[in-house]
Amino acid sequence: MHFEPLGERDVEAVFRLWARAHGVPAERMRQRLEIMARHFGYPGFAGLGAWHEGRLVGFVYGFTGMPGQWWYERVRALMPPEMAREWLGRPFEFTELAVDPAQWGRGLGGRLHDAILERRGEPRALLTVNADNERAQALYRGRGWTRLLEDVHLVEAGPLLWVMGKRLG
């Protein structure tokens, strides 16, 4: 297995792995593919893919968060002003981390997490994780992430989420 930077050529493979890891049919999530394609063009984008025998088995990506971006603005609206000043000064938005279910429990998610963050220059990183995803929460807490907000919605009918932050550097 080896890690390689992700590029626009990888968007479809990333999307298919994301759908598999989340247990949803890719055909029902085409809008997600469009969102991911946009992310790949954002300022400060960085992504890593884990490849095994020519197949993508894990990935991580994110970008520099900036005013005007959808996620940034929604999180800012949820944070108290003092928290927003501390955490939203151009953070690294740790946007997606997914591992093929056949690879779960082997440490791949943690290795991808560490590899992407060690290359960043931002002072802080932020992410959202589903409030009921204990496996992901444990990974993040074990790597120094702090829960900043809990049980929030970014969209009205969306899942309950936690917003987590990590100081980098």
pTM value?
Answer: 0.94
Indicate the SS3 state at residue 70.
helix
Q: How far is CA 48 from the centre of its chain?
A: 12
Nearest 5 degrees, angle CA 134-CA 137-CA 138? 85
Q: Taking each helix axis from N to C terminus, what angle separates 30-39 and 11-22, rounded to the nearest 10 degrees?
A: 130
| Tokens found for residue 13 | 């493979």
H-type alpha helices, the chain: 11-22, 30-39, 70-78, 81-87, 108-117, 134-142
Domains of the chain: 2-167 (3.40.630.30)
Walk along the chain (169 residues) and give the pLDDT tens digit of each residue: 999 999 999 999 999 999 999 888 877 788 888 999 999 999 999 999 999 999 999 999 999 999 999 999 999 999 999 999 999 999 999 999 999 999 999 999 999 999 999 989 999 999 999 999 999 999 999 999 999 999 999 988 889 999 999 999 8
